[in-house]
Structure 1
Amino acid sequence: MGLASWVVNNFVASAVLLLCSVSINVAAAGKQVQGEGQKLRFGQNGEFKILQVADMHYADGEKTGCLDVLPSQVPGCSDLNTTAFTQRMILAEKPDFIVFTGDNIFAYDAADSAKSLDAAFAPAIASKIPWAAVLGNHDQEGTLSREGVMKHIVGLKNTMSQFNPPEAHVIDGFGNYNLEVGGVKGSGFENKSALNLYFLDSGDYSTVPSILGYGWIKPSQQFWFQHTSAKLKKAYMSPPKAQKAAAPGIAYFHIPLPEFASFDSSNFTGVKQEGISSASVNSGFFTTMVEAGDVKAVFTGHDHLNDFCGELTGIQLCYAGGFGYHAYGKAGWPRRARVVVASLEKTKEGNWGAVKSIKTWKRLDDEHLTAIDGQVLWSKSSAGNKRKKGIIGA
């Protein structure tokens, strides 16, 4: 029996049991199950874990076949394998938060975009774990416009996705927003955002006739990011528990920046098996993030055969690797997901303080959900040493 059929037979058929187990296991582990209108917060274990799902390319469920799998995996392989993989990851990692980084559906092949979106996000919704999504370049190619897709996502249960920031009256795209992750309840950081999450719409395709290729993050979005970053920094560096530097930030969007092409096998962790499909112009968003100083890592999708992380000027640029079975891939190279964990430091009083490190690893959709490429993306101690030495961008 092929791996794809094995996954379906063992996980999709028992979906109800699995989802019940997720709720039980999350509660048993002391995780905080959060829903609509609730604040993201570090758990009593001093950690905040994020599961990134990139490029599901969901269409019509069991009617939609798989792409680029081994011949033995073809029979019975469908979108349901993507559903099963999502369920397995939730069960294995018990994340505090789930992020879907675009091309959530392959709308061109979907009979009804709304139904495909509902099915794609169903495991996250059923788990009652808070989740958020951004748009890719394929989400709007079906029965819903780009605006319509984001409106539908915002209306789903347990999501913390936002259509656009309420304070930004004119901003390009749909799904630009930020979420704050509060410190441990009862600690001195309870009312501060210890970790800031930025979500941006990286567009779909260029609308400028003289520029070919994919879209990019526009000046209006960068202005919103700068304003938001400055506001969060001011709040974090104010009493009580005033800090000397900004809280670390993480950015999520779909299309990689041109700077992702800065690496080779000597200076990244993971693999690069295809070119960097960024916009053909550089809008300067990487420089904007460097100047802001708080973003420590960027996570994208789009290029399914790349799953590396590389550091450039103090910012880690990371791919998640392809997740969905209706997305292009590479036969024999398992679909995968990325996990990120931010950990807090202990204060002298023995309480939980600020973020001390951000770590990551990936899991493969094989029999054992094999974990690979564990690495520290950022640590407070190393950043402090860089600042002392005067290294720009630390």
Structure 2
Amino acid sequence: MTRRIVRTIIQLGLFGFCSFLFLYMLDNQYGVLPTSIHSHLPAHHPGLIIADVHLQYCNLLNPLTSCKLDPSKWHRIEKDLYLNSGLVQKAYLHIKRKKEEELTAEDKVVLDVKIGRLDPAMGEKGEDNEKWESRGSGIWLKRSAKRHDSDSNNVITAIDILFGADAVEPRPGWEIKDTPLLLSSDGVPEARISVRRGSPKKVEKPIPRIRKDGKFKIMQVADLHLSTGLGACRDPEPKEHNGGKCDADPRTLEFVERLLDDEKPDLVVLTGDQVNGDTAKDAQTAIYKYAHVFIERNIPYAGIFGNHDDEGSLSRQGQMALIESLPYSLSEAGPNTIEGVGNYYVEVLAHGTSAHSALTLYLLDTHAYSPNEAQFKGYDWLKPDQIEWFQNTVRELRTVHKHYTKIHLDMAFIHIPLPEYTEPAEIFGNRKEGVTAPGFNTHFKDALVEASVPIVTCGHDHVNDYCALAKTDEGQPELWMCYGGGAGFGGYGGYNGYVRRIRLFEIDTNEARIRTWKRLEYGDTETRLDEQVIVEAGRPFGG
């Protein structure tokens, strides 16, 4: 921002810049222009009808323009259509909403929205009040004053903005327009309108359950690093693949989709850095891209955050609110009385109609960067209140799990590795980079061992994909500490030809056994890499 302000002073002169600064501060005071991209949650209030749409351009150097219309009449979608790429030029979509029961016979409501250069009617005859009306930048509205046409099952009841040629719409009842808005936005992912007809669709949370054969497969997806738009590949291997052309997000998601179709997991666990903060100018768009691949296959998924997820347009709280609202999502914000967003557990029930849990998955937020960089460099750590929550939850669930007639199993998922990941000399897999664990140890590893959780698995270090076995002083196995291996091409992935990969776990409740392996994005893509049994009879096994 500092360099951009200096450039602006040089280009505009002192008077012009002072005008810009005054208007910029004024707009920020009233919440009109964001100092960073606004947190955004589209308004989905039931019973509201869209009556009109307006695209408002503004220039901070022109005091005659404003980025916000009268808020008593217009609701602004809090996304700059230029994704804040311009210092002074902005554009926002505004919508006029009416309560359905308050509509009069004279009120018009939006029946349809289309994007294009030409009038969609193209000379077709129709009633005068159903002609297409232009709103600029390719937006065309079909509105009607007929009272009966305001039935909320047929008309537009919500509008949102997503970005990029690869944007998708995973929300039930929503439709993304194929043609982007006609904006002169070179180098910025194109803005696309998404609309919903009718009332919000109720989303039921799925109930994960052990299969008839007694097994359950989990696919751990670590470090997708998705962007807004196609994204730029970092360290793709091999470099000459596809003639050297590599778009990060499409290639990443094609890899994930191939494994979903091959492995058919019962659950996907995302262990952080799904969103590549600095390139995801609209985090909502990035979230929808990964969610879409699970939703269209009816696969439940649960996620936690990494250190990059909230470096873009949405906070952890804002992202989790979106994720919780999507189909097949098991993600939860967790208790707001402890630190972090995304401290929760998922119960996988026994086969059939049983109400008993056969497997519990604990997911915890490992935060981002050290709060005390001078003393503990690098990354943050699990806080005492999180560990206390985990211990209390384990004790409470043990009482319930006693009713399960087989050996109950547990797993834990985090993003940033524990300090103990550096200790075991014997590993199974690849250690191609140093362990970037916190410098301060709150001993969550000891809490896991005390709770008899046999496995903890993380992401964060993209080119470490090993499992390491911690042992007691007597040499007995006490905890497996695994890495997922980086899956996304938007994050780094070099180090001697390292190929992106994904880890899988197969839980066999008949034997209380857990087996794990990895699959590669390129090369020997059919082989189960480093396959091993790591839990037998409910206890860590191997070594």
Which structure ranks higher in relative contact order (CA pairs < 8 Å, sequence separation ≥ 6)? Answer: 1
User: Within the alignment, does 1:192 sit opposite 2:359 as a pair?
Assistant: no
What is the aligned partner in structure 1 of residue 86 from structure 2? none
Give runs of aligned pairs for residues 76-225 of structure 1, distance below 5 A.
76-164=246-334, 168-185=335-352, 190-208=354-372, 210-225=375-390
Bigger Rg over Cα: 2
Displacement, 1:127? 1.3
Distance in 2 of aligned mates of 1:125 and 1:237: 34
- With 37-46 and 67-76 compared, the bigger mean Cα shift is at 67-76
Report the Cα offset of residue 212 of structure 1: 2.8
Provide the rounded CA distance (Å) in 2 between the counterparts of 1:126 and 1:205: 35
**1:113-172 Cα shifts (integer Å, max 9, x gaps):** 1111111322112211100110000000011112222222222221000011xxx45110
Counterpart CA distance in 1 for 2:285 and 2:214 is: 38
Q: Give a deviation string over 1:67-102, Cα, whole Å, max 9, x none.
A: 112331331432100110110010000000001100
Deviation at 1:36, TM superposition (A): 3.5
- One-letter amino acid of the structure 2 residue matched with residue 357 of structure 1: R
Identity %: 36
Please, which of 503, 524, 527 is the counterpart of residue 370 of structure 1? 527
CA contact (8 A) 2:409 2:512 kept: no
Aligned positions of 1:26-65 closer than 5 A: 36-62=204-230, 64-65=231-232
Distance 2:306 2:320 in 1: 11
Give, in whole Å, the separation in 2 of the partners of 1:382 and 1:234.
19
Query: 1:226-375 counterparts in 2 under 5 A?
Result: 226-238=391-403, 241=405, 247-264=408-425, 267-293=426-452, 295-313=453-471, 314-330=478-494, 332-345=497-510, 356-366=512-522, 368-375=525-532
CA offset digits 1:259-287 (Å, max 9, x no partner): 000123xx211010000101110011111
Matches of 2:446 and 2:306, distance apart in 1 = 22
Which has a greater percent of strand?
Answer: 2
Unaligned runs of 5+ in 2: 1-165, 169-202, 472-477
Output the CA distance in 2 between the equivalents of 1:360 and 1:260.
Answer: 18
SS at match of 2:435: coil
Deviation at 1:382, TM superposition (A): 6.4
Task: State the Cα deviation string for residues 146-200 of structure 1 (Å, max 9, x = none).
Answer: 2222222222221000011xxx4511000110011111115xxx22211110000
1:36–1:130 contact (8 Å) kept in structure 2: no
What's the C-alpha RMSD, in Å, of the aligned pairs? Answer: 2.3
Is the partner of 2:513 in helix, strand or coil? strand
1:335-376 CA-to-partner distances (Å, cap 9, x unmatched) read 00000010022xxxxxxxxx5200000000125343200000
Structure 2 residue matching 1:95: 3-state secondary structure: coil
Q: Give the TM-score normalised by structure 2.
A: 0.58
Alignment partner of 1:376: what SS?
strand
**Matches of 2:487 and 2:539 in 1, distance apart?**
32
Query: TM-score of the superposition, structure 1-length normalised?
Result: 0.79
Match of 2:111 in 1: none
Say which SS state the counterpart of residue 119 (structure 1) adopts: helix
SS in 2 for 1:48: strand
User: What is the aligned partner in structure 2 of residue 348 from structure 1?
Assistant: none
Q: Gaps spanning 5+ residues in structure 1: where? A: 1-12, 16-34, 346-354, 387-394
Deviation at 1:381, TM superposition (A): 7.4
